Amino acid sequence: MEPGNALPFQAKPHDAMRLGLASLKEDVAPKHPVEVIQRESKKQADVTKNQMLRNLYGVAVPAKASIETQILDRFHRLPGLQSSKLGLESLTGALDEYGFESYLGLPEYSEELPVEMHAQMEVKLKLGTQPCERGFF
């Protein structure tokens, strides 16, 4: 079985009331060939770019670029809000690309209800997992 076709591990319990019934079928289903080619070409372009930088300038330049990428990839907004990761997009050059995701899939055109901010923060802060204590003190 290819690594992309393995069943994903479900690390946290699934909230069926908010998210619908749990299904891992979509995660295992084979991807479209064009999607696979696009993903592999981006990986290959990154490897080629890092190898070129390593050959021209030494090991320090690709190492610095990967550290900057890791730092910029860590920035997140509150749960439920989309994070554009503008710094990471400017570093990788993704700002210059205009694909179908630039005009399709925008949150204002979504048919789904927006995510409940309070519920997402409860999950992030692990407030809903502990039983309530009753008493005066």
Provide the token pair at 81: 């809000």
pLDDT at 8: 59
Higher pLDDT, 47 or 26: 47
Higher pLDDT, 14 or 125: 125
Provide the token pair at 41: 């070409």
Higher pLDDT, 16 or 134: 16
CB burial string 24-60: b at 16+ within 10 A, e below: eeeeeeeeeeeeeeeeeeeeeeeeeeeeebeeeeeee
pLDDT at 134: 56
pTM (2 decimals)?
0.56
Provide the token pair at 122: 């409860």
Integer Cα distance of 99 and 31 in angstroms: 18
pLDDT class for 40, splitting at 50, 70, 90?
A: very high
Integer Cα distance of 11 and 122 in angstroms: 17
Structural domain contains residue 52: yes
Structural domain contains residue 78: yes
Structural domain contains residue 21: no
Q: pLDDT (tens digit, 9 = 90+) per residue, 44-65?
A: 999 999 999 999 999 999 999 9
What is the domain range of residue 45?
Answer: 32-123
Q: How many domains does the chain have?
A: 1
How much is the average pLDDT of 22-26? 66
The H-or-E segment that residue 128 falls in is none
CB 120 within 8 A of CB 76: no
- Is the pLDDT at 12 greater than 80? The verdict is no
Q: pLDDT (tens digit, 9 = 90+) per residue, 82-92?
A: 778 889 989 88
Integer Cα distance of 101 and 126 in angstroms: 32
Structural domain contains residue 82: yes
